[in-house]
Structure 1
Amino acid sequence: MGFISSSHLDSPRPVSYSLFQIRQTAARALAEVSSATQQHDTTWRQIHDWLTDENQVDPAWADVILTCLVPYAQRLRASYDWLTDLASALFAAADFLEGTDQQMADSFQPTHGYAP
C-alpha cells in the first residue's frame, strides 16, 4: 500500500507513495549523504592540517580563518546528520506501514457476505 496524503486540503486527488518508493528514496539519501560526509571529512582534514601547519600559514591568520570555518563545518556536519536521521525515519515509516498493513490483513475476519 504505502502512505497516502492529500496534496492540498481541498484537493480530491490523493498523492500515494509506495513502500518501494519510500525505501528507494531513503536508500538514495543515505548513499548520497554518506558520500558527501566522506568527502567533507577528507576535505576538512586537509584544510585543517594546512591551516595548523605553521610553515604554511601564520598561526594568527589560522586562528582567524578557523574561527570562521569551524562553525561552518559543524553546521554542514549537522546537516549531514539530519539527512541521515531523515533517511532512517523514512525506513522506519515504511516498516511501520508495512507492519500495519500486515496486521490489518492478519486480523481481518470476514463475516458471512462481506468477504473481499
Structure 2
Amino acid sequence: MPLVSPDNSATSSDEIMRYPFDTMRTVAATILSNVSIALSEHEIAWKKAQDYVQSLPDPLQPAFMDVLNKHQQRIRDSYKWQEDFAGALFNAIDTVSNTDSNISTSFQKIDNAKFTGFGHGHLIVADE
C-alpha cells in the first residue's frame, strides 16, 4: 500500500505517493527465507512420517498415506503460494520503480524538447 503524505485535504491532487521499496523488498526476502526454512523442516518431518507409516502393518499403510499425502500436498501448496506472493511482490516493486523512472524520463524529455506548436489538440514536439 502506498504511503501518502499527510494532507488536510483528502481530495487533493497534490498528494505524494511513496512506496517503501526497501521495506517491501525486505518483506519479500523474509517470506522467501521463511518458506525455504519451513520447506526444509517439512521435508524432514515428511520423511519421518513416511518411515513411520511404512512400519505399520500393510493393511493400514494405504489409508494413512492417503490422508497424509493430501495433507502434505496442501502444505506444499501453501508454501508455493507464499513463494509466488513474494515473487509477485518483487515484480510489483520493479514495475512501480521502472514506471516511476520512465515517467520521470518522459517529463525530462518534454522539459528539454523544442516545441513546434499544437496540432489537433496536442502539443507537437520536434524530433531531434
- TM bucket (normalised to shorter chain) is 0.7 to 0.9
- Aligned residue-pair number: 101
1:43 paired to 2:41: no
Q: 1:61 to 1:50 in 2, by over 3 A?
A: same
Q: Which amino acid aligns with 1:73?
A: Q
CA–CA distance in 2 between the matches of 1:17 and 1:58? 58
Q: Which amino acid aligns with 1:68?
A: V
- Once the two structures are aligned, what percentage of the paired residues are identical? 29
Structure 2 alignment gaps of length 5 or more = 5-9, 113-128
CA–CA distance in 2 between the matches of 1:50 and 1:59? 12
Rg larger for: 2
Structure 1 alignment gaps of length 5 or more = 7-11, 112-116
Superposed displacement of residue 58, structure 1: 0.7
Q: 1:104 to 1:47 in 2, by over 3 A?
A: same
CA–CA distance in 1 between the matches of 2:75 and 2:47? 14
Aligned-partner SS, 1:60: coil
Q: Which runs of 4+ in 1 moved over 6 A?
A: none
Please provide the CA RMSD for this pair. Answer: 2.4
CA–CA distance in 1 between the matches of 2:82 and 2:71? 17
